[in-house]
Structure 1
C-alpha cells in the first residue's frame, strides 16, 4: 500500500481533460487500487454532473472485504458551477451541507474520511463555512475536516471553529513557495499537507516537448509556466531531470512526485490520471534517498536562483 500517493479524480471528471471516457475512468481507479493506492480525492465540482463522484462510486460497489476497508475518500465542497458554466466559490453553510449530502449520495457512501472546504469564499466568513463542516462531522458524514487553498491565517480562523486535520496546496520544484508558508504552518499545527500540481500539469512529467502544440480546448497554455521564458526554463530543468531519472532507474514523473513527497511537512501527493496505463508511472513514488534528494534539490535551487535574477 502506497500512503504517499492519492489519486486525484479531477482529470477523470472530463471537464478540462480531453478524451475522457467513463470506461477508462473506472479502469483507471481500478488500476490505482491494484497498484496499492488506497486514497482518492474527489469533489462536488469534479464534473458538470458529478462524474468523478459517480465513477468512484461505481468502483466502490465492486469492492468488498479488506480492500474496501482500506479505501479512504477525501471529499471537497465549496465550489460549484454557475449559470454560465464557470466554477465559482460558494462557502455558504447551507450550500456546503447540500453539496456534501449530494456528493455522498453520488458516491454511495455515508461518510467521508476527510471532508474539506474546497476554496475560501471571500464573501462568506471562513468561520461560517467551518461551522457547516463541523455540523456535518457531528452528523456522522465526515470523520474529520480540513481546508484547501487557504493561507495560514485562514487555516487558523477555520481551526478556531473546528480542528483542521488537513490542508491542500500546490507544490512542485518550480513552485516551492508553499514549503515555507502553508506547508510549514500545517506541520507546526500537526495537520496533514496534501500537495497537488506536483507535475505542474504534465510539464514535470518530461513528456511535453519544447515544440508541443496543445489541442484546442486544453487549458494548460493559459498558465504562466507554459509561456515564454518560464516555459523555456522549465524545459531546461526537465532535460536535467531526465539525466537524474535515467541514473536512478525512474521516470521523470516518478522523480518529480517523489521529490514533492520527500519535502518536510508533506504527507502525500495528489496525482491525477484518466487512463489506466498512466498509473504505473507514479504508483511507486515515495521519499527519495538522501543523495538523490540532494541532487534534485540543487537542480531546483539553481533554477530558482536564475528565475530571481
Structure 2
C-alpha cells in the first residue's frame, strides 16, 4: 500500500490549544448519504492509511448512519491508532417520523448524545465536539453551558459549532471559547465569506471546511453523476439537477483546463484554493478510496499566485453557479438563530 507522497503539516486550529493536521478526513460518505455503506474492512484500511500518512483530524457524527460511522471509526481506532488521532464528532441531529431530522440542543440530549458517542467510538474523551445543527428552540447559551460541563468532566476537550450564524457563534463563544466552526466552503460555496469567516477570525476560532470539493463535483464533473447510486442524496440536490448541472459543468471545464496548465488534477486545484484561504483553515475532504485520498493530500503541494486565485474565483463566481448548495436552507446557518437567554 503506497503512502501519500506529500508530508502533511500540522496547524493550530483555533486559539485554545488544539493542533491538527492541516488537512483532515471527512468520514461521512463511508457509511451514509453518498450511496450504500462501503465495505468495512476497506474503510478501516483507508482510515489507518490516512493516519499513517499524517492526516490526524478525523471527522464523523452520530447522525451518519445513524451511528454506524462512529462504530466504524471505533474499530479503526483500535490497536494504538487512537493516540495518533484528533477525533471530531457531532451531536444535535436526531431522526423522527420515519427519518425526518430534528435538531436538539437541550442539556439532557447533549449529555446523552455525548455518552452515546463515547461508547460507540470506544474512547474516554472526544477531542472536538461540535453541535452539528443549531436547535432554534433552545438558547445557544444553554447548549454551550452543558458542553462546558462536559469539558470540565473530561469527556470532551474542545467545543465546536457547525452551520452556525455569526451572532450564534458570538453568543456561544461568550459562554465558553469555541475552538472551531465547521462550514461548507469551496470554490462554488462562498457565502460564508461575508460574515461568518470574519467573525471566526475576530474571535480566534478555527475554520473547518467541509465539502471543499463541492461534494465531489470538482473531482470528476459530469462523470460524478454517472457513478452515483440511487441512494445517493446528491441526485436530488439543486446543483446536480439537469437544468443546473449543464451550466455548472462549464465551471468544472474551466477549472479542469487550469489544472492541466498547473500539472495537477481539478480536485487538487479546488482543494488548494481552500488551503490558500489562510493558515486557520482546515479542509476535510471525504473519500472512500485510498488513491483519491493520496491525490487529495497532493493538493498541499499545489501553489497558487494571487492572480491564479482570482482566476479560479472568476470561474465560480456566484452568478455562474446554478442552484442552491443545500436543498433546505433550514439545515444551514441561515436559519440558526436561537431565542435569547431569559434573565
- Local SS of the residue matching 1:199: coil
CA shift, 1:196, in A, is 0.9
**Aligned partners of 2:51 and 2:84 also within 8 Å:** no
Match of 1:23 in 2: 41
Which runs of no fewer than 5 residues in structure 1 stay unpaired? Answer: none
Equivalent residue pairs, number = 304
CA 1:299–1:99: 2 relative to 1, 3 Å: same
CA 1:235–1:210: 2 relative to 1, 3 Å: farther
CA distance in 2, matches of 1:85, 1:56: 23
**Aligned partners of 2:188 and 2:321 also within 8 Å:** no
CA distance in 2, matches of 1:138, 1:202: 39
Q: Does 1:268 align with 2:286?
A: no
Structure 2 counterpart of 1:37, from 41, 55, 59: 55
The correspondence of residues 249-264 of structure 1 with structure 2, limited to 5 A, is: 249-264=263-278
CA distance in 2, matches of 1:125, 1:287: 43
CA distance in 1, matches of 2:206, 2:35: 28
Match of 1:186 in 2: 200
Match of 1:300 in 2: 313
Match of 2:74 in 1: 57
Q: Give deviations 1:121-173, integer Å, cap 9, x for gaps.
A: 11111111111111110110111112110000000111121111110111111
CA distance in 2, matches of 1:75, 1:217: 24
- Local SS of the residue matching 1:122: coil
Q: Does 1:127 align with 2:145?
A: no
Q: Once structures 1 and 2 are overlaid, which stretch shifts more, 131-140 or 246-255?
A: 246-255
How high is the TM-score relative to the length of structure 2? 0.82
CA shift, 1:220, in A, is 0.7
Q: Does 1:152 align with 2:170?
A: no
Match of 1:217 in 2: 231
Which runs of no fewer than 5 residues in structure 2 stay unpaired? Answer: 1-7, 10-20, 323-343
CA distance in 1, matches of 2:59, 2:152: 22
CA 1:213–1:47: 2 relative to 1, 3 Å: closer
CA distance in 1, matches of 2:316, 2:32: 33
How high is the TM-score relative to the length of structure 1? 0.90
CA distance in 1, matches of 2:22, 2:74: 22
Please give the root-mean-square deviation of Cα atoms over the aligned residues, in Å.
2.3
CA shift, 1:238, in A, is 1.2
